[in-house]
Structure 1
């Protein structure tokens, strides 16, 4: 029991909180962080979903276009974190209310839990493929559980170390990616990949590919302000995160599409979203790097899930260790649900339906209604300008619910030729803007006083739009 108390005290002292953080990261540094974060097998395997549903040329074009569109949303939300010093879920207090923030926080915990399951399963399947090739023993569920147990322990004890070594894992992934591209294009020419006939019966279209790629960016945007509040300026946010995220996504998804095309051109069976076929095609080094990258990214996902829960309430926190043990136990049990891998696109649909409306509301609220400035009231547990009605903003919550319902309807009831993500974003953006327009703040856009530096006696930012909120050095 004394060990438990000592560990709990240590974690309480070293856990990230939802208070404002002054960032110092330059654009190149932030770009490397995003490059490391997104060079993971989930992004790579997403690219395998597109072939042979559409042609290789169409898949690659939609990957680029969808990534650039998604990067706009990701960096706009991330920039709010840069300018205020707050993580993504803490920022939702301003638009949804001090208590209304519990809705997106709960959704965030559920989504990160799902990501944790998916990544543990992929790591388990990868390890299982390597073990089966070597020994003949096969039990993917067992290996998935083992991988998730390791992840939970790392999230509790070793998340700081993982964040330091993750860029080196990204370097290893880039080396393996280069090897795979070399193998793929020395075996077959670009014309061979372009000649792979599309299979319309799979139900994949260019619009659906675009929708999935944008939805992938939305899934990363839940962490954008968490990461980008480390940026020293808005310029570092837009350049570093924009280039880092875009480069890693285009490289990873394109590799997935080409790797699956390589397997098809060899005449082998090529099921989508299955890392074992890539282990078979490209060998054990690929399996080792996939395992390590998944362990690193999944550790940060579990850690982010726990910190979102413990910091949900402004001015008060749950205990980190018991929260980690409860959520970690759920994540271990959930990692046995291997059928989720067959429903990955549906999982992305759920992410889109829950968070596309959230980010549309946040962008309208900060950039248009609040004129690019939040006050220290966002740090208060009650009262202030973000208290609305009993701590809830009914307009934001209603628009969010309508947007989530519309996203599901545009996907399953009345499928749109352009997919559901962009129409849902536009609908939610315009609806929240129209319903909240009368309550917008007047005057010139304000200079955001960084909340790590603003004092309680000076809660409102100075009305100087020309000054960048970050230090010039």
Structure 2
């Protein structure tokens, strides 16, 4: 029987894995889902107001033409990363946390896991705050923090219910955000006097083009690299995974960035709630925005808890989800949202090189055939993974060409070479 089917597991063990969303096991073929189901969940991740915020920051700092090209380029970079991760996870059936163990070792994996934990909690806190801020913008009498707390509790609950509830909520949120996003863009273009008018608008505070691309990549870098395996390990085929990720990033992500960018070019503000309010859309779009934020925030908690569960397998995923929710709510209360720009820049430097490392391992180190998690004796620390990651990160800090792309390529090449020379260090138990 194929490795993906986890033949060595008993029905009882498989049932336990299923109830815990296969946190520490391959997803068997019997549990794989349709491409449409996975696309809905994936779009629920990428259809997020924070991507509109990033697009807004790009729009107020670039000309309209440069905004469009920077948006498309960032989506292409993300699509390549996501497709690579989709291929790996569909083939192996393994989550981000398990893949990290093979690339960084049993103890070494705590470092990338920590990055995932911090970033997912950060996203969750920003999303919780946005629910409060959006409510306050429409109803000024309602304070931000209490609503953020209530939103955080609700989003934690649906994440606890797993893929089934996440799919249901995304089915509602995705079509509605498309409708209002289109309406917002049409209003903005009309207010500017058409495409010609959009092109004539000069940004008050111009930003560097490569920095803008970095903002676009950073807006969903964690999703492309870290969230993709948690979704696509349920894919029935590699082909389905690639199709889902191309649609998600090239259509979904581009749409969200442009939704924020086009509106910000005309209104002059990257703040989505204020922008929609200026367009007279906040009231009718209020529920849509909340659902949109909700569908992504629950994904942050789901993927973050999954990844953490891979290094603390004895911990119940339910309690990890609750822990994520509580800490995320605390972050929202103390104002983590105010560091949004710095946070995006941090993600664009630290996360993309991981994608290069995972793909190098898949192609070179393990030659598309990872040992089964139940039988693999992993090294404590995989030095090659850390060398590749550090060099990839350093390269993203060098202002030459497209720093994000350079970091991915360097991390891939270094890990591929070291993997070929040093091997995986993995021993297989009988």
Q: CA deviation at 1:127?
A: 0.8
**Equivalent in the alignment of 1:257:** 261
TM-score for the superposition, normalised by structure 1: 0.79
With 183-192 and 233-242 compared, the bigger mean Cα shift is at: 183-192
* Residues 240 and 431 of structure 1: CA distance in aligned 2, closer, same or farther (over 3 Å): same
With 349-358 and 39-48 compared, the bigger mean Cα shift is at: 349-358
With 31-40 and 241-250 compared, the bigger mean Cα shift is at: 31-40
Alignment partner of 1:311 is 2:310: yes
1 or 2, which has the higher helix percentage? 2
Alignment partner of 1:218 is 2:221: yes
**Equivalent in the alignment of 2:3:** none
* Residues 88 and 439 of structure 1: CA distance in aligned 2, closer, same or farther (over 3 Å): same
* Residues 27 and 146 of structure 1: CA distance in aligned 2, closer, same or farther (over 3 Å): closer
> Cα deviation per residue 1:8-57 (whole Å; 9 max; x = unaligned)?
xx999733123111264454544343233212211122110012311011
**Equivalent in the alignment of 2:419:** 436
**Equivalent in the alignment of 1:189:** 194
**Equivalent in the alignment of 1:266:** none
Q: CA deviation at 1:112?
A: 0.3
> Cα deviation per residue 1:258-289 (whole Å; 9 max; x = unaligned)?
111232xxxxxx33234233234223122220
Check the 8 A contact 2:261/2:270 in 1, yes or no: no
Distance of 2:136 and 2:163 partners within structure 1: 25
Distance of 1:440 and 1:324 partners within structure 2: 35
Q: CA deviation at 1:403?
A: 3.3
Q: Larger radius of gyration, structure 1 or 2?
A: 1
- SS of the counterpart of 2:58? coil
Alignment partner of 1:35 is 2:39: no
* Residues 433 and 33 of structure 1: CA distance in aligned 2, closer, same or farther (over 3 Å): same
Q: Give matches, 1:101-112, under 5 Å.
A: 101-112=109-120
> Cα deviation per residue 1:386-438 (whole Å; 9 max; x = unaligned)?
x23xx21122123323433554xx1xxxx504353122222222222333332
* Residues 235 and 99 of structure 1: CA distance in aligned 2, closer, same or farther (over 3 Å): same
- SS of the counterpart of 2:270? coil
* Residues 275 and 419 of structure 1: CA distance in aligned 2, closer, same or farther (over 3 Å): farther
Query: 2:346 aligned to 343, 350, 356, which one?
Result: 350
TM-score for the superposition, normalised by structure 2: 0.86
Distance of 2:91 and 2:404 partners within structure 1: 27
Distance of 1:278 and 1:11 partners within structure 2: 46
Q: CA deviation at 1:308?
A: 2.1
- SS of the counterpart of 1:50? helix
**Equivalent in the alignment of 1:445:** none
**Equivalent in the alignment of 2:158:** 154
RMSD of aligned residue pairs (Cα, Å): 2.6
Check the 8 A contact 1:215/1:421 in 2, yes or no: no
Check the 8 A contact 2:159/2:165 in 1, yes or no: no
Distance of 2:158 and 2:340 partners within structure 1: 25
Distance of 1:156 and 1:241 partners within structure 2: 24
Q: Give matches, 1:289-328, under 5 Å.
A: 289-313=288-312, 316-328=313-325
* Residues 11 and 369 of structure 1: CA distance in aligned 2, closer, same or farther (over 3 Å): closer
Query: 1:273 aligned to 249, 271, 274, which one?
Result: 271
Query: 2:91 aligned to 68, 71, 83, which one?
Result: 83
Distance of 1:165 and 1:179 partners within structure 2: 22
- SS of the counterpart of 2:420? helix
* Residues 51 and 186 of structure 1: CA distance in aligned 2, closer, same or farther (over 3 Å): closer
Q: Give matches, 1:73-472, under 5 Å.
A: 73-132=81-140, 137-156=141-160, 160-187=164-191, 188-199=193-204, 201-202=205-206, 204-220=207-223, 221-263=225-267, 270-281=268-279, 282-313=281-312, 316-338=313-335, 340-376=336-372, 378-380=373-375, 383=377, 387-388=378-379, 391-407=380-396, 410=397, 415-439=398-422
Distance of 2:18 and 2:369 partners within structure 1: 30
**Equivalent in the alignment of 1:51:** 59
**Equivalent in the alignment of 1:20:** 26
Check the 8 A contact 1:34/1:245 in 2, yes or no: no
Distance of 2:237 and 2:274 partners within structure 1: 42
Distance of 1:403 and 1:88 partners within structure 2: 19
**Equivalent in the alignment of 1:444:** none
Check the 8 A contact 1:11/1:321 in 2, yes or no: no
Distance of 1:206 and 1:372 partners within structure 2: 37
Q: CA deviation at 1:130?
A: 1.2
Check the 8 A contact 1:26/1:240 in 2, yes or no: no
Distance of 1:426 and 1:40 partners within structure 2: 28
Check the 8 A contact 1:196/1:261 in 2, yes or no: yes
Distance of 1:51 and 1:438 partners within structure 2: 46
Unaligned runs of 5+ in 1: 1-9, 264-269, 442-455, 458-473
Structure 1 stretches of 4+ with a deviation exceeding 6 A read 10-13
Number of aligned residue pairs: give it: 407
